[in-house]
Chain A
Amino acid sequence: MSEIFEILLSANFWAASLRIATPLIFGVLGALVCERAGVLNLGIEGIFTAGAMAGWMAVWLGAGLWGGVMVAAIAGGFFGLIHAILTVPLGLSQHVSGIGVTLFATSLSYFIYRTALPDVSSPPRIEAFQPLDIPVLSDLPFLGTALFQQTSLTFLALLLVIVTAYVLYRTPLGLAIQAVGDNPSAVESQGLSVYGLRIGAIVAGSAIMALGGAFLTMSAFDAFFFGMVNGRGWICIALTVFASWRPGKALIGALLFGAFDAFQVRLQTEIGSFIPGQIFLMMPYVLSIIALVVVARRADYPRALLVPYFRGQR
């Protein structure tokens, strides 16, 4: 038991939780923007990969770190647009289109990577984002290490939580997005464009998701690897339900998952080898499923989620 407390009391554990949570925060925010507008975006896993690849490659080609972030967002927006066109005006199955976008975005990223670097065995490294050294705050005992020694992208993720919440609840645009995910005819009868709102929300949401991918190659690691997204996108889809489509709860969900993950790594080293490592690896996922079961039973789904809208049809 004392080992567990030791882990929970170490500042490094909390710093790691926040770091692991960062791509998930981007991912859940992006997914919830899409779903609030009524469209499930299962392209997320591929959009993560595309963001990771595009951001990293832009920096490698000399675009600069923030330039890379922009490129990643644009790549995400591009794949979001494909999903949007297929699911909104054409009204195709959101599941099928989403999976298709994931496969397409992943394969295209790998293809471009291999074409650009045909015969390297280890990918070239870039100068990634470094942890910020904020005067005073970063030097605080415990809190400084736990919260304020992160890279800029982590702070961007936290900022986006506030921005998304503000836009969703306080602006006319946010009200329209919430309405279009609940009852599209409410939006149309008030003179707004259902398609415009949905397409816009999917493109914006996908751009945000791609930043989660960019964090992987430009902050967590400094290079692009095959399979590096490793299911993080799917976790975000589950966390969106856990978060009841609310940005604040999305942050909590992502942090919780990050904490589980950071905890299992440390527990593995503390407890040692007599339990197979896979059990520990499994833990965050099992705990997520349990949390999901507890929360999602009462989940208040956007009523028009998955329902395509055609004008003049009831």
Chain B
Amino acid sequence: METDGSQAVPILKLDGITKRFGALTANGDVSLELHRGEILALLGENGAGKTTLMNILFGHYVADEGKVLVGSNDGDLSALEPGSPNAALVAGIGMVHQHFTLAENLSALDNILLGTETLSALKSARLPARHKLENLMSRSGLTVSLDTRVSQLSVGEKQRVEILKALYRDARVLVLDEPTAVLTPQESDTLFATLKKLAEDGLGIIFISHKLAEVLASSHRIAILRAGRKVADLPSDGCDQRQLAELMVGHEITETVREPNQPGAPLFVLNGIFAGQGRDVLHDVNLELKSGEILGIAGVSGNGQTMLARVISGLETAARGSIQLEGVDLGKASVRQMIDSGLARIPEDRHRDGVVGAMTVSENLAIESIREPENQRFGLLRFTELRERARNLIKSYDIRCQSENSPARLLSGGNIQKIVLARTLETEPKVVLAAQPSRGLDVGATSDVHKRLLAVRARGAGVILISEDLDELLRLSDRIAVIHRGVLSAAEQTEKLDRGTLGLSMAGHSEEDAA
């Protein structure tokens, strides 16, 4: 439907964008082009500058050098006013942020309408908007219940509202920041199908990702950022995952491999656990972890994983059911008793529950063993020993920080996770509860976490791995159980499972449905 002539002129052009935050160069001389109907994947590790670049495009940040050019309908390029989201919106750029920018107290319709009407208008014109949206929804397949308050919508629906926000403003360029981070595999497939359809209608799409498989499957072209610079810009056809990963990381990657081993005796047992109320519940959960085993728990977030982790770590007491570690009942145990009996936790929200941001690295490393005689005498902390120990751990776990005395909040997510790992694994626990241990981490930090967990397994302890990342679960776990709406399925040998069946059970379909 488009002639080749108009294909030649890009609808969006980033020209030599440089952005510095203090000493850090987040983007160095990055140039990009996007054409009508094209899906461009922007690939890179955390901290590679993908989100910064898109925030400059959308006017959240102002670039120190370089400019953003937008193509008009008749093919001329004109510079976009920097630092103004409104200018970007007017120029037809729509952005779906990783953290949704929705007002939860308003309906989906009102969120879409927000900012599209003059503020001095005496009445919100909801009726014509509804007609336009119904039209858009039937054309694009993005259906949302318009009158529902956003707080009542599921994550997938919220994302659809975000995309509709852009389409409602007749966006010509759609930017999505890590759109699949919060979706089930099936939802992701649907999303990419929709994006393909929108691209065929002429929309230019940029999506940010660090997942290689989806980038290869769903984009026309791939631009790779590393340490703020563009290191590759190539058509997706003919690329493979290995090549992309190496471009992204900058060196060769060694895969973590799970050595086969024979799991030992049952170590940690949950029996008929009921807990929680509302959405975060557990309903008759049974689980048996053997020594020398990694037991994976798959599920879309919000299906009871958080409650499961809280119950296992002793933060929540189950209403019914029993918990046993090596035959000792821990049903009513406190967090302290859990830790003392050899249970270590890697919390889901490492920034909130993993470290105390205002405290130093060395204090954070000692925080769970602060009562041990090597850390205190007569109730007074032994700072010299604490620092000494911290320095050793910083070295052996490769924690990148200025010194053991820097506040933990200054560290990156990957290094905060290393603090958590160092603290919990140094005590040689019998059971490790790892909740979303690699969420938001880049390839390097993720492989580090994986190696540590496999080492725990190799020395005969057990790991409960709660994750939404199917690749991670399939690679590390000996057995996998699926949690859906607070019900945990029976664990199955990983060899018998694949992404498809796991994805279906995560979405709540039983095997009979799938067949």
Distance in angstroms between the alpha carbons of A189 and B112 in the assembled complex: 11
- Chain A residues with Cβ below 8 Å from B88 are 191
A191 contacts B105, C-beta separation under 8 Å:
no
B121 contacts A312, C-beta separation under 8 Å:
no
- Chain B residues with Cβ below 8 Å from A187 are 103, 114-115
B115 contacts A182, C-beta separation under 8 Å:
no
A311 contacts B123, C-beta separation under 8 Å:
no
- Chain B residues with Cβ below 8 Å from A172 are 113-114, 117-119, 121, 124
Distance in angstroms between the alpha carbons of A303 and B104 in the assembled complex: 9
Q: How far is the CB of A45 from chain B (nearest CB, A)?
A: 28
B101 contacts A183, C-beta separation under 8 Å:
yes
Chain B, residue nearest A311 (CB): B60
- Chain B residues with Cβ below 8 Å from A175 are 106, 110, 113-114, 124
Q: How far is the CB of A164 from chain B (nearest CB, A)?
A: 14
A211 an interface residue at 8 Å Cβ cutoff?
no
Q: List 19 A-B contacts (CB under 8 A).
A: A170-B123, A171-B122, A172-B114, A173-B121, A176-B115, A176-B119, A179-B105, A179-B110, A179-B111, A183-B101, A183-B104, A186-B102, A188-B60, A188-B85, A189-B101, A190-B115, A191-B85, A191-B86, A191-B90
B120 an interface residue at 8 Å Cβ cutoff?
yes
- Chain B residues with Cβ below 8 Å from A291 are none
- Chain B residues with Cβ below 8 Å from A178 are 103, 105-106
Distance in angstroms between the alpha carbons of A59 and B319 in the assembled complex: 67
Q: For window 52-98 of chain B, which residues contact chain A by CB distance below 8 Å?
A: 55, 58, 60-61, 85-86, 88-90, 95, 97
Given contacts A176-B114, A179-B114, A187-B114, 15 further A-B contacts (CB under 8 A): A172-B118, A173-B120, A182-B105, A185-B97, A186-B101, A186-B111, A186-B114, A189-B58, A189-B97, A190-B89, A190-B101, A192-B114, A300-B105, A303-B104, A314-B99
- Chain B residues with Cβ below 8 Å from A179 are 103, 105-106, 110-111, 114
B337 an interface residue at 8 Å Cβ cutoff?
no
Q: How far is the CB of A36 from chain B (nearest CB, A)?
A: 9
- Residue A182 contacts which of B61, B86, B106, B117 (CB distance < 8 angstroms)? B106
Distance in angstroms between the alpha carbons of A300 and B104 in the assembled complex: 11
A170 contacts B116, C-beta separation under 8 Å:
no
- Chain B residues with Cβ below 8 Å from A171 are 121-124
Chain A, residue nearest B102 (CB): A186
A253 an interface residue at 8 Å Cβ cutoff?
no
Which label, helix, strand, loop or mixed, suits the secondary structure of the A interface? helix
Q: For window 6-61 of chain B, which residues contact chain A by CB distance below 8 Å?
A: 55, 58, 60-61
B165 an interface residue at 8 Å Cβ cutoff?
yes
A residues near B, CB below 8 A?
A: 170-173, 175-176, 178-179, 181-183, 185-192, 300, 302-303, 311-312, 314
- Chain A residues with Cβ below 8 Å from B123 are 170-171
Q: Knowing A175-B110, A176-B115, A312-B61 touch, does A189 contact B105 (C-beta < 8 A)?
A: no
- Chain B residues with Cβ below 8 Å from A300 are 105
Q: How far is the CB of A189 from chain B (nearest CB, A)?
A: 4
Distance in angstroms between the alpha carbons of A154 and B24 in the assembled complex: 60
Distance in angstroms between the alpha carbons of A125 and B180 in the assembled complex: 70
Q: How far is the CB of A236 from chain B (nearest CB, A)?
A: 22
B115 contacts A191, C-beta separation under 8 Å:
yes
- Chain B residues with Cβ below 8 Å from A183 are 101-104
Distance in angstroms between the alpha carbons of A188 and B97 in the assembled complex: 12
Chain B, residue nearest A200 (CB): B119
- Chain A residues with Cβ below 8 Å from B103 are 178-179, 182-183, 186-187
A312 contacts B118, C-beta separation under 8 Å:
no
Distance in angstroms between the alpha carbons of A312 and B26 in the assembled complex: 14
- Chain A residues with Cβ below 8 Å from B97 are 185, 189
In the A-B complex, the 3 residue pairs with the smallest Cβ-Cβ separation, listed nearest first, are: A190-B115, A191-B86, A179-B103
Residue among B85, B97, B120 facing the most chain A CB atoms (10 A cut-off): B85
B residues near A, CB below 8 A?
A: 55, 58, 60-61, 85-86, 88-90, 95, 97, 99, 101-106, 110-111, 113-124, 165
Q: How far is the CB of B183 from chain A (nearest CB, A)?
A: 20
- Chain A residues with Cβ below 8 Å from B101 are 183, 185-186, 188-190
- Chain B residues with Cβ below 8 Å from A185 are 97, 99, 101
Chain B, residue nearest A183 (CB): B103
Chain A, residue nearest B85 (CB): A191
Distance in angstroms between the alpha carbons of A192 and B110 in the assembled complex: 14
Distance in angstroms between the alpha carbons of A303 and B151 in the assembled complex: 11
Q: How far is the CB of A64 from chain B (nearest CB, A)?
A: 29
Q: How far is the CB of A211 from chain B (nearest CB, A)?
A: 22
Q: How far is the CB of A91 from chain B (nearest CB, A)?
A: 17
- Chain A residues with Cβ below 8 Å from B86 are 191-192
Chain B, residue nearest A189 (CB): B101
A190 contacts B95, C-beta separation under 8 Å:
no
- Chain B residues with Cβ below 8 Å from A302 are 105
- Chain B residues with Cβ below 8 Å from A189 are 58, 85, 95, 97, 101
Distance in angstroms between the alpha carbons of A187 and B115 in the assembled complex: 7
Chain B, residue nearest A191 (CB): B86
Chain A, residue nearest B89 (CB): A191
B113 contacts A303, C-beta separation under 8 Å:
no
B119 contacts A173, C-beta separation under 8 Å:
yes
Distance in angstroms between the alpha carbons of A311 and B101 in the assembled complex: 13
Distance in angstroms between the alpha carbons of A186 and B118 in the assembled complex: 17
- Chain A residues with Cβ below 8 Å from B58 are 189
B85 contacts A182, C-beta separation under 8 Å:
no
- Chain B residues with Cβ below 8 Å from A192 are 86, 114-115, 119
Q: How far is the CB of B257 from chain A (nearest CB, A)?
A: 36
- Chain B residues with Cβ below 8 Å from A181 are 105
B60 contacts A170, C-beta separation under 8 Å:
no
Chain A, residue nearest B115 (CB): A190
Q: How far is the CB of B118 from chain A (nearest CB, A)?
A: 7
Distance in angstroms between the alpha carbons of A179 and B117 in the assembled complex: 14
B118 contacts A190, C-beta separation under 8 Å:
no
Distance in angstroms between the alpha carbons of A170 and B106 in the assembled complex: 12
B114 contacts A312, C-beta separation under 8 Å:
no
Residue among A172, A176, A302 facing the most chain B CB atoms (10 A cut-off): A172
Q: How far is the CB of A197 from chain B (nearest CB, A)?
A: 8
A190 contacts B165, C-beta separation under 8 Å:
yes
Q: How far is the CB of B100 from chain A (nearest CB, A)?
A: 8
Q: How far is the CB of A237 from chain B (nearest CB, A)?
A: 20
Distance in angstroms between the alpha carbons of A172 and B116 in the assembled complex: 9
Q: How far is the CB of B412 from chain A (nearest CB, A)?
A: 15
